[in-house]
Every structure is written in C-alpha cells, then in structure tokens.
C-alpha cells in the first residue's frame, strides 16, 4: 500500500509545470491573435498604427545636426574652442601617422605638396619583408615566418605594395592607440562599478552602430583625410579591447590578489604588477581583435581620405573593374592573414614560460633587433645604388587583373542565363514576398509583440527596453527602411543558418573535416567586409540578391563555429548513457546533442545577426534601399543628424535581437539544467 501515494505524487509534481506551460502557450496565442486582428482589420480604423504620423515624429536628426553645428561653430572652453580641441587631437594623431607613412611609403620629405623633395627614401621592400619575416620567426618559428614572407611578397609581386604600405601605416598608428585606450577604459571600468554601468550602454552602441555612421560626425569634426580615418578606426576598434580587459582582470585568480595584498602592494602596483601581467593571455586576444577591426575600418575609412587598399577596392567597385578590384581585395586578404597570424602567435606566446635572459653581448641579447637593423641599413645603402633593391622592379610585377576580367567575361557569357534564373527565382519567390510581408505589418503591433516577447523571456525590464527601442525606430521616421533592413537581415540569417548549422553538425562529428572547416572560417573571419562584395557583384550585378549573397558569406562563420562548439561541449557521459539505452546515432544527435547544444546554437544565431547587420550597411554600395543606404547618403552629404539617426536605428535592431536571443538562450540553459 505505501507504493500507491508514490505513484500518484510523481504526476502531481509535474502538474504545476504543465499548467505553467499551458498558460505560457495561451498567452502567446492570445498575443498573436491580437496582432493578427490588428494587422488584418486595423488599418481602416487606426491608420496611425500602420504609418507613424509625421506630426508625431521626434525631430532627432535636426536636433543632432543643430548640436553638431553648435559644437563646431560656437562651443568654447574659454581659452580654446571645441574646433581647436578636435584639430589639436588631429595634429597629435597626425604626427605618428606621418612618421609611419614616411618610413613605409613616401620617405622623409622637405616641403609641401608637389614641390616636396625627398631627403631620405622609405624602407625598401626587401627590408620590410625581412623585418616582418624576423617578427614571424620570433613569434611562431619557421612556418609562420614563411607565411608572413609569402603574404608580403605577394603585395610586392602583384603591384600592391604602395597602397598596402599606406594601409599598414594607418594600422601601425591606430592599433597601439586603440590597445592603450581600451586597456585604460577597461581598468577604469574594473575599478569603479559605476563607471562600468555608465560605460556599458555606450560600448553597446559603439559596437552596434554601423561603421559608416561613425564617419559622418568624424568627417564633420576632423575634416577629410587619413587622420580622420584613424580617429574613426580608434572609435570602432576600442570597445572589444575594453570589454576583454574587464573580463580578463575579473578572471585573474583570487590567490594572485591575496598575494599582492600580503606583500603590501598599493592599488597602482596591484593593477600594473599583478593583475595586468596575470591577464596578459586574454589581453593579447584583445590586441588581435583590435588589429583585425582596425584593418576592417581602415579599408572602410577610405571613403573619408584614408587611401591605401580600401580606396583601390572602392574605386574599382565604382568603375565595375572586377580585375583591379579582386587584385586589391586579394592584397587585403594577404595583409589580413599576415597580421592575424602574427597577433595570434604572440597571444599564444604570452602564455608560454619566459626564457631566461641571455648574459652575452648585444647580439646575443637582442639577435632579432640587431638582424632587423642590419638588414635595414644594408638594403638602404644598396637601394641608393640599385633601384631594384629599393623599389620592386616594374618589369617583374605580375598582374591578374586582365585574367580575372576574362574569367568574369567567360562566366557571364556561359552562365549568365543560369545565374539570372536563380537570382530571379529567389527574388520573386522569397525576397520580394517577404519584403512585402514585413512592409505591411503595423508598427504598433510589431512593437507590442516585441515587448511581449521581452516580458515572457526576461521580465518587465527587458520588455521596456525592447518596446522603447522599437518605438524610437518608428518615432524617428525610420520604420519603413528598418523593415527593409530587417527583411534583408532575416533572409540572410535564415540562409546562413540553413547552411552553417548542418556544416557545423557534420564538422563536430568528424574531427578531420573540422580541422579543414576551421581553417576556412578562420580565414573568412580575417577578411574585411569589402572583400565579400567583389565576387557577389561580379556574378550577380547589384541589388538585394547580391547584398544577400555577400551577407550570407560574411555571417556564416559564427553559425558554424558555435554549432561545433555547442556539440563538442555536450557531456560524454550523457552520450554514453544514450548508447547504453540503445539509441541510434541519429537519436543521440537529435535527442541529446542538439537539445543540449541549443543554447550555444542560439548564441551563434545571435552573432550571425550581428555580423549580418554590420555587413548590410556595407552592401549599400551595391544598391540596397535600407538603413545602410540612408547612412551612406548622409555620408555623401555630410548630414550628421541623418546618418546618426539611421545608425541608431540599426543599433536598436541589433540590441533588440541580442537581448531577446540572449534571454532565450539563458532560459533554455536553465530549462535543460545547464546552469
């Protein structure tokens, strides 16, 4: 008889959970029913719920433009104006940039403009390749030295040396400033929680506002030229370093802090002699992020006078010169791979034991530095006698421009009908219907549904954040273009997930396949976003379909990586338990692995959305009509208010998606007992 209460109590324990699940579904059905009723029958009654009235719009663009004009024309600090301050900052940044540019590209000049006379030539191409090869050998041995030498040799052989050195000069200035600035902000956020609370939303905006939107106010404040481009690069590349610094300092074991306190360290000594050295492994990962983001931004900043490889790609895109554009794009790839591998090698080296210092002479103590200086001096003197040592000979340069143009011509002649058929089929059956669907939704209903989703996933606070951000998109007059952005982003993310998640599943099950896939996606993530536009334009011309192809290619890597990471994190004991119960491999995958990996896959989807939104702004160059195009038009007209409002709208979309998906992933983890 005692067994009977036990049998009846087990279902009783599940009744509250079942009741909560039923209430949850009922609430969702009720919200969806209200939304559908408003969508289908609400327009005749409440037209304002579909088209936000212009009389109610917040004139944020005008306010920002007026504020910017006041800053430039009237703002003063007594002894100097705001314009004087920005020009002073520009001059400070310009000094190291001119030094780097003189060393790598122009040489040291006397005079200005066309009357300038070269006093001392720049470093020869042989010297630069030798120095970076020595750096590669010091960081990662012969293999890395060979990779770096091949990448820089490619720049010389294919005639991209001069532009690449201009780009490299900008990076050599932007990266140290970005690392130092991010490190100091991160330390301040770690020390003072209130400062971190105030800084976090600013960092969120800086990382979600499109890169083009940065360029508009910076162009207004700092003028047109490479200095303004470096300032834009700093703003873009600093937030990841700040976040990684805070995380790295918090991850330092408490034993290290206790040891510092025991030996009487002051607060400054604790920071710089205990915490920062202990966190150097993670901090080097931040340096790698700053380098790659700086390279990406320097390319984009060619629009405001950065010059270099980015300008070459942009000019080729405008001329539709596929051959020249691909050559410049491949040069960007080579430079990105070299810088990425070097920074990764030094990040790995930071965690290795430090070898004891040599006690010999100067050569024994600093062999790499001595070798680099010797090569620079020898090639510098030899270059005065032999021009081929100083500058790579034109007669030995190769060009694949005509080859790629011929390949494109051959593809277009033989496969034009096929590509057009695929393009038109996707446009007519998927893209255009989805675009019309989103364009016809009421802003009030969408805002309400997003707020409801926030409430169900994260409570009233998340509901308020999501609802207010969605309302601001409508209230600033950006709703129509925001829906076009959402449609392009949504379709691209769906395709990226449909391709990336199965590839991730296959890679997680096969170690050899994953080793190859990881190399491919690592390479894809080192490529600046401009590079993805070239093959898309080459094959499909301009338009929404071309933009979608470029966005999918750019954003697929996180979908693959997070899927593999989630599946590999599944506890092997659970898999063994499934096998012991007689589960087939398919059942183990679907019933155990994918369920437990779902939170990681959701986070990968979140990152895919972030990547897609950042790329969508770049695709304004190929004819989209979304918020990215609005930012691009504002850049061409130097309209700060228009550009920032459109940029804020993109940032709001990104923040809404990030908060909802992150909350959903957290709830899923809790439901699966993974926290």
How does the average pLDDT of the chain come out, rounded? 84
Q: What is the mean pLDDT of residues 486-515?
A: 92
Higher pLDDT, 111 or 611: 611
Residue 673 pLDDT exceeds 80: no
Confidence of residue 20 (pLDDT cuts 50, 70, 90): low
Alpha helices of 1-121 — where are they, by DSSP H? 3-41, 60-73, 82-101
pLDDT tens profile 29-60: 998 999 999 999 888 888 899 989 988 999 99
Neighbour-count burial of 23, counting CB atoms closer than 10 A to its CB (0-12 exposed, 13-18 middle, 19+ buried) = exposed
- Give the Cα separation of 245 and 458 in Å (integer): 28
- Give the Cα separation of 55 and 244 in Å (integer): 44
Confidence of residue 18 (pLDDT cuts 50, 70, 90): low
CB-based contact 332:313 (threshold 8 Å)? yes
- Give the Cα separation of 306 and 308 in Å (integer): 7
Give me the pLDDT at residue 509, please.
86
Q: What 3-state class would DSSP assign to 118?
A: strand
pLDDT tens profile 643-668: 889 988 988 998 899 889 888 888 88
CB-based contact 601:501 (threshold 8 Å)? yes
Q: Residue 107 contacts by C-beta under 8 Å, 6 or more apart in sequence?
A: 118, 119, 120, 121, 122
Listed residue (622, 665, 666) closest to 314, CA to CA: 622
Confidence of residue 504 (pLDDT cuts 50, 70, 90): very high
pLDDT tens profile 243-302: 888 888 888 888 888 888 888 888 888 888 888 888 887 888 788 888 888 877 777 777
CB-based contact 211:617 (threshold 8 Å)? yes
Give me the pLDDT at residue 157, please.
92
Residue 327 pLDDT exceeds 50: yes
pLDDT tens profile 547-569: 899 999 989 988 998 899 888 88
pLDDT tens profile 359-401: 666 777 778 888 889 989 999 888 888 888 888 898 888 888 7
Give me the pLDDT at residue 1, please.
41
Give me the pLDDT at residue 505, please.
92
Confidence of residue 2 (pLDDT cuts 50, 70, 90): very low
Confidence of residue 349 (pLDDT cuts 50, 70, 90): confident
Give me the pLDDT at residue 592, please.
85
- Give the Cα separation of 453 and 465 in Å (integer): 11
Give me the pLDDT at residue 468, please.
95
Residue 15 pLDDT exceeds 70: no
Q: Pick from 19-23, 128-132, 309-313 the range whose average pLDDT is largest.
A: 128-132
Q: What is the mean pLDDT of residues 406-417?
A: 84
- Give the Cα separation of 195 and 246 in Å (integer): 12
Name the class of domain 427-432+478-675: mainly alpha
Give me the pLDDT at residue 262, please.
85
Residue 10 pLDDT exceeds 70: no
Least confident of 171-180, 201-210, 505-514: 201-210
Residue 6 pLDDT exceeds 50: no
| Percent of residues, the chain, with pLDDT higher than 90 | 22
- Give the Cα separation of 633 and 644 in Å (integer): 12
CB-based contact 351:92 (threshold 8 Å)? no
Give me the pLDDT at residue 469, please.
94
- Give the Cα separation of 209 and 175 in Å (integer): 20
Cα angle vertex 139, ends 133, 141, to 5°? 70
Q: What is the mean pLDDT of residues 345-362?
A: 66
- Give the Cα separation of 238 and 236 in Å (integer): 6
Output the CA–CA distances (angstroms, integers) from residue 651 to 289, 339, 609, 629, 654, in the order listed. Answer: 20, 29, 12, 15, 5
Q: How far is C-alpha 267 from the geometric centre of its chain's CA atoms?
A: 34
- Give the Cα separation of 553 and 536 in Å (integer): 10
pLDDT tens profile 219-252: 878 877 788 888 888 888 888 889 888 888 888 8
Alpha helices of 44-192 — where are they, by DSSP H? 60-73, 82-101, 125-157, 161-191
Give me the pLDDT at residue 603, please.
83
Listed residue (43, 56, 69, 68) closest to 476, CA to CA: 56
Confidence of residue 465 (pLDDT cuts 50, 70, 90): very high
Give me the pLDDT at residue 9, please.
43
Q: What is the mean pLDDT of residues 194-209?
A: 84
CB-based contact 284:350 (threshold 8 Å)? yes
- Give the Cα separation of 158 and 331 in Å (integer): 8
Residue 636 pLDDT exceeds 60: yes
Residue 320 pLDDT exceeds 80: no
CATH architecture entry for 85-105+163-354:
Orthogonal Bundle (1.10)
**Which residues make up the CATH 1.10.3720.10 domain(s) of the chain?**
85-105+163-354, 427-432+478-675
Give me the pLDDT at residue 3, please.
44
């Amino acid at each position: 008889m005692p067994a009977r209460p036990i049998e009846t109590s087990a279902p009783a324990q599940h009744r509250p959970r079942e009741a909560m699940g039923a209430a949850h579904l009922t609430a969702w059905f009720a919200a969806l029913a209200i939304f559908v009723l408003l969508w289908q029958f609400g327009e005749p009654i409440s037209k304002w719920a579909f088209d936000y009235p212009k009389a109610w719009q917040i004139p944020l663009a005008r306010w920002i433009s007026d504020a910017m004009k006041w800053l430039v024309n009237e703002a003063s600090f007594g002894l100097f104006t705001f314009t004087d301050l920005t020009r002073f900052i520009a001059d400070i940044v310009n000094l190291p940039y001119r030094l780097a540019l003189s060393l790598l590209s122009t040489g040291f000049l006397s005079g200005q403009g066309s009357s300038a006379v070269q006093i001392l030539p720049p470093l020869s191409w042989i010297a630069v390749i030798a120095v970076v090869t020595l750096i590669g050998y010091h960081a990662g041995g012969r293999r890395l030295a060979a990779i770096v030498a091949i990448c820089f040799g490619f720049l010389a052989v294919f005639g991209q040396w001069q532009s690449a050195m201009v780009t490299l000069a900008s990076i050599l200035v932007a990266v140290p400033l970005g690392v130092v600035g991010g490190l100091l902000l991160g330390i301040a956020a770690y020390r003072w929680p209130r400062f971190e609370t105030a800084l976090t939303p600013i960092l969120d905006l800086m990382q979600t506002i499109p890169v083009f939107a940065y360029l508009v106010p910076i162009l207004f404040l700092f003028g047109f030229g490479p200095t303004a481009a470096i300032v834009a690069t700093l703003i873009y590349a600093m937030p990841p370093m700040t976040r990684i610094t805070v995380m790295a300092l918090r991850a330092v074991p408490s034993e290290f802090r206790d040891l510092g306190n025991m030996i009487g360290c002051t607060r400054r000594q604790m920071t710089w002699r205990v915490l920062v050295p202990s966190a150097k492994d993670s901090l080097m990962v931040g340096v790698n992020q700053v380098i790659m983001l700086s390279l990406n931004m320097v390319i984009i900043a060619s629009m405001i006078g950065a010059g270099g490889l980015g300008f070459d790609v942009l000019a080729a895109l405008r001329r539709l010169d596929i051959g020249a554009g691909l050559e410049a794009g491949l040069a960007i790839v080579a430079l990105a791979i070299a810088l990425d591998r070097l920074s990764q090698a030094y990040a790995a080296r930071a965690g290795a034991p430090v070898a004891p210092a040599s006690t010999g002479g100067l050569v024994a103590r600093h062999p790499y530095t001595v070798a680099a200086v010797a090569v620079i001096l020898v090639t510098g003197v030899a270059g005065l006698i032999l021009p081929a040592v100083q500058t790579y000979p034109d007669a030995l340069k190769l060009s694949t421009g005509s080859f790629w143009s011929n390949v494109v011509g051959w593809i277009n002649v033989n496969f034009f009908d096929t590509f057009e058929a695929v393009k038109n089929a996707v446009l007519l059956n998927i893209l255009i219907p989805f675009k019309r669907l989103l364009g016809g939704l009421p802003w009030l209903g969408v805002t309400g549904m997003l707020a409801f989703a926030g409430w169900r996933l994260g409570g009233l606070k998340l509901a308020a954040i999501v609802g207010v951000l969605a309302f601001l998109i409508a209230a600033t007059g950006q709703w129509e273009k925001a829906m076009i952005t959402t449609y392009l982003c949504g379709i691209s993310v769906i395709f990226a997930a449909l391709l990336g998640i199965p590839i991730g599943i296959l890679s997680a099950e096969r170690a050899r396949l994953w080793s190859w896939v990881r190399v491919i996606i690592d390479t894809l993530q080192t490529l600046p976003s401009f590079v993805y536009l070239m093959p898309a334009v080459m094959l499909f011309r301009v338009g929404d379909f071309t933009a979608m192809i470029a966005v999918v290619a750019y954003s697929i890597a996180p979908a693959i990586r997070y899927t593999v990471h989630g599946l590999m994190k599944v506890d092997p004991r659970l898999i063994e338990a499934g096998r012991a119960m007689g589960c087939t491999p398919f059942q183990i995958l679907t019933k155990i692995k994918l369920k437990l990996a779902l939170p990681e896959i959701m986070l990968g989807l979140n990152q895919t959305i972030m990547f897609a939104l950042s790329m969508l702004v770049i695709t304004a160059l190929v004819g989209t009509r979304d918020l990215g195009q609005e930012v691009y038009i504002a850049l061409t007209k130097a309209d700060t208010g228009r550009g920032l409002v459109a940029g804020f709208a993109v940032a709001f979309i990104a923040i809404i998606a990030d908060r909802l998906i992150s909350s959903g992933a957290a709830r899923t983890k809790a439901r699966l007992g993974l926290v």
